[in-house]
Structure 1
Amino acid sequence: MVNWFWKRKRPLTRTLRVRSRGDYGDVRRVDFAELAPEIDTYLGQAAYLQLGFFETLSDLIAPTPELSQKESLSLAAGAALLKHRALVDVIRERGDDPLDVMLPFREPLDTFRRATHGARPLETMLSVQITAGMLDDFYLALSASYGATGKQVAEILQADDDRDALVSILKDAIDSDPEWSSLLALWGRRLVGDTLLIARAALGSQALDEEEEARVDPVFTDLLGAHSRRMAQLGLDA
Structure 2
Amino acid sequence: MVKWFWQRDAPRRTLTLRARGDDGGAMRVDFAELAPELNRFLGQAAYLQLGYFETLTRLIRATPELDEKAAITRAAGAALSKHRGIVDVIRDLGEDSTDLMLPFREHLDAFRRKTIGARPRETLLAVYITAGMLDDFYLALASSYGETGRRIADILREDDDTEEIVEILKRTIESDDEWRSLLSMWARRLVGDTVLVARQALRSERLAEEEDRVEPVYTELMGAHARRMDAMGLAA
1:228 aligns with 2:219: no
Aligned to 1:7: none
1:72 aligns with 2:71: yes
Deviations 1:76-128 (CA, angstroms, capped at 9, x unpaired): 00000011011011001000011001000000000000011111000001001
TM-score by length of 1: 0.89
Aligned residues of 2:34 and 2:207 also touching (Cα < 8 A): no
Aligned to 2:153: 154
The Cα of 1:22 is off from its aligned counterpart by 4.3
Aligned residues of 1:18 and 1:30 also touching (Cα < 8 A): no
The Cα of 1:206 is off from its aligned counterpart by 6.2
The Cα of 1:177 is off from its aligned counterpart by 1.3
Q: Which runs of 4+ in 1 moved over 4 A?
A: none
State the alpha-carbon separation in 2 of the partners of residues 206 and 233 from structure 1.
Answer: 37
The Cα of 1:21 is off from its aligned counterpart by 2.1
Of 222-231 and 170-179, deviating more is: 170-179
Cα RMSD of the aligned pairs, angstroms, is 1.7
The Cα of 1:28 is off from its aligned counterpart by 2.7
The Cα of 1:33 is off from its aligned counterpart by 3.1
The Cα of 1:30 is off from its aligned counterpart by 1.2
Written as runs of structure 1 = structure 2, the 5 A alignment for 1:2-81 is 19-22=17-20, 27-81=26-80
Deviations 1:108-153 (CA, angstroms, capped at 9, x unpaired): 0000000111110000010011000000000000111000100110
Deviations 1:33-59 (CA, angstroms, capped at 9, x unpaired): 311000000000000000000000000
Aligned to 1:14: none
Aligned length: 220
In structure 2, runs of 5+ residues without a counterpart are 1-14
State the alpha-carbon separation in 1 of the partners of residues 88 and 153 from structure 2.
Answer: 14
Aligned to 1:215: 213
Which letter does structure 1 place at the counterpart of 2:151? Q
1:184 aligns with 2:183: yes
Which letter does structure 1 place at the counterpart of 2:99? D
